[in-house]
């Protein structure tokens, strides 16, 4: 480019001298033709350089794509830093214990390859509490820390249909499907922690359809291994999950049915009503995809129902989960020790209001009740919670303060046990 510019200046000087001396029309024509040719070459060079430049997008993370859009990658990270204090009981309001840690630390990559029909999503976790690295829940299905949380390959042949193969969240209860980074409390409820289907490896299908101009139906199906994420082996049983969501008033703003709280303050009422079913054939772990090894396989069924409503800062959500086993949920080992799949019912409800200054107040009630054949081993659990959240950049940067009351009840003896309060301060930051 510099050489061409130098030649251009030299030629103009030479032509000017010649023109001044001869003042012939031939020199004029020659100069004009050369300048025109050089101008065209410069414009072509600019176009070529523009085509070779990569494309950048910083709307949701750090995004890069090739000039011809043959592939792209979007990089995101997030962390949850938590400080929690609990009391020894509900009478002595003093320190009974502390939890101070990085609860979650994630790095994710998403994008497409070849064309936008082929997409991928990879999510990695790095904090110990985020790897299911719990020695109390040892399993031969997975003997190492779980760094890989999601590893999905998607194929979308048409706009409303998507197929996937890989490891990801099962389409079970709504609170599990909603990202842990999009919760309005410090974490998901006790109902989710006991009955969730979590993640698994297998085939997934999503299909969206509409009735009329607004009524939307979302269908999600999955056929997976049943042993959970990063399992090293599987038996002959598989897990089957299905979920259907009805949105009679149309889609939520910015996908608001999959983040808690009405931080976008829906201008019109929106509601989603959903139901689902999960069958894990020959489950080998106490929680199906989670937990310790059972002494023998046991099949179980799980049923889900949930709803979410949002309008002008008000958000109401509720979900119900039930789990039943085929046969007794209790399995006794050769040493006489029992292990079991927790059967029972759970319901979690949350109500919140987000002010125009992005300050939110919320309350939660959660109840988990075991079935009669487990009341000698499993206590009923109940929690009441209240929270204040300041959204500095929606769910990507927020400060949360929560206060909870926890109660357990022995249904055999009809007495309350393990009653205490706990308070949480948590900051979530991500891109």
Whether residues 64 and 18 share a domain: the answer is no
What span, in angstroms and rounded, lies between the C-alpha atoms of 98 and 96?
7
Whether residues 283 and 170 share a domain: the answer is yes
Which pLDDT value is given to residue 3? 44
Does 363 or 114 have the greater pLDDT score?
Answer: 363
Whether residues 34 and 138 share a domain: the answer is no
Contacts of 297 by beta carbon, 8 Å cutoff, 6+ apart: 235, 237, 282, 283, 284
Whether residues 11 and 81 share a domain: the answer is no
Domain count, the chain: 2
What span, in angstroms and rounded, lies between the C-alpha atoms of 62 and 122?
15
Whether residues 17 and 74 share a domain: the answer is no
Whether residues 167 and 35 share a domain: the answer is no
Whether residues 183 and 322 share a domain: the answer is yes
Give the predicted TM-score (pTM) of the model: 0.86
Query: What are the tens digits of pLDDT across the range 8-49?
Result: 455 454 444 554 555 555 656 776 777 787 777 767 666 655
What band does 423 get if pLDDT is binned at 50, 70 and 90? very high
Whether residues 40 and 153 share a domain: the answer is no
Whether residues 307 and 358 share a domain: the answer is yes
Whether residues 246 and 393 share a domain: the answer is yes
Which pLDDT value is given to residue 129? 83
Query: What are the tens digits of pLDDT across the range 251-305?
Result: 999 999 999 999 999 999 999 999 999 999 999 999 999 999 999 999 999 999 9
Whether residues 6 and 80 share a domain: the answer is no
Q: What is the mean pLDDT of the chain?
A: 90
Whether residues 189 and 45 share a domain: the answer is no
Which of 53, 73, 88 is the C-terminal boundary of a domain? 53
Does 233 or 345 have the greater pLDDT score?
Answer: 345
Would you say residue 169 has pLDDT above 60?
yes
Which pLDDT value is given to residue 393? 95
Query: What are the tens digits of pLDDT across the range 100-152?
Result: 999 999 999 999 999 999 999 999 999 988 887 665 566 788 777 889 999 99
Domain with residue 375: its CATH number is 2.40.160.10
Does 50 or 218 have the greater pLDDT score?
Answer: 218
Query: What are the tens digits of pLDDT across the range 173-186?
Result: 999 999 999 999 99
Which of 25, 53, 81 is the C-terminal boundary of a domain? 53
Q: Nearest to residue 238, comparing CAs of 205, 198, 207, 278?
A: 278
Which of 37, 53, 69 is the C-terminal boundary of a domain? 53
Q: In terms of residue numbers, what domain contains 4?
A: 1-53
What band does 59 get if pLDDT is binned at 50, 70 and 90? confident
């Amino acid at each position: 480019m510099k050489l061409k510019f130098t030649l251009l200046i030299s030629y103009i000087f030479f032509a000017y001298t010649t023109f001044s001396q001869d003042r012939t029309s031939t020199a004029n024509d020659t100069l004009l033709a050369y300048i025109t040719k050089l101008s065209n070459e410069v414009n072509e060079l600019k176009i070529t350089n523009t085509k070779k430049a990569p494309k950048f997008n910083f709307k949701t993370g750090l995004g890069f794509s090739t000039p011809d859009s043959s592939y792209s990658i979007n990089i995101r990270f997030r962390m949850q830093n938590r400080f929690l204090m609990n009391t020894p009981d509900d009478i002595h309001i003093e320190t009974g214990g502390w939890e101070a840690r990085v609860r979650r630390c994630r790095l994710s990559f998403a994008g497409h390859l070849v064309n936008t029909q082929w997409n991928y999503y990879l999510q990695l976790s790095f904090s110990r509490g985020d790897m299911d690295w719990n020695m109390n829940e040892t399993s031969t299905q997975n003997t190492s820390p779980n760094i890989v949380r999601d590893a999905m390959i998607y194929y979308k042949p048409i706009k409303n249909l998507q197929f996937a193969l890989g490891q990801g969240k099962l389409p079970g209860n709504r609170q599990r499907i909603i990202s842990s980074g999009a919760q309005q409390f410090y974490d998901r409820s006790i109902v989710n922690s006991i009955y969730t289907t979590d993640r698994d490896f297998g085939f997934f299908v999503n299909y969206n359809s509409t009735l009329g101009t607004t009524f939307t139906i979302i269908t999600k199906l999955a056929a997976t291994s049943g042993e959970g994420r990063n399992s090293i082996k599987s038996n002959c049983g598989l897990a089957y999950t299905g979920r259907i969501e009805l949105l009679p008033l149309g889609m939520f703003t910015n996908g608001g049915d999959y983040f808690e709280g009405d931080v976008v303050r829906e201008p019109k009422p929106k509601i989603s009503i959903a139901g689902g079913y999960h069958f894990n054939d020959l489950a080998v772990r106490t929680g199906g995809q989670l937990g310790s090894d059972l002494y023998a396989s046991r099949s179980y069924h799980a049923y889900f129902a949930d709803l979410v409503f949002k309008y002008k800062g008000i958000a109401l959500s509720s979900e119900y989960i039930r789990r039943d086993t085929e046969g007794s949920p209790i399995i006794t080992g050769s040493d006489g020790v029992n292990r079991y799949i927790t059967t029972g019912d759970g319901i979690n409800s949350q109500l919140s209001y987000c002010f125009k200054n992005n300050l939110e107040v919320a309350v939660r009630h959660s109840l988990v009740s075991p079935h009669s054949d487990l009341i000698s081993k499993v206590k009923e659990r109940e929690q009441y919670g209240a929270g204040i959240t300041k959204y500095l950049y929606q769910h990507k940067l927020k400060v949360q303060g929560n206060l909870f009351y926890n109660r357990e009840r022995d249904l055999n003896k009809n007495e309350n046990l393990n009653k205490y309060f706990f308070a949480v301060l948590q900051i979530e930051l991500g891109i």
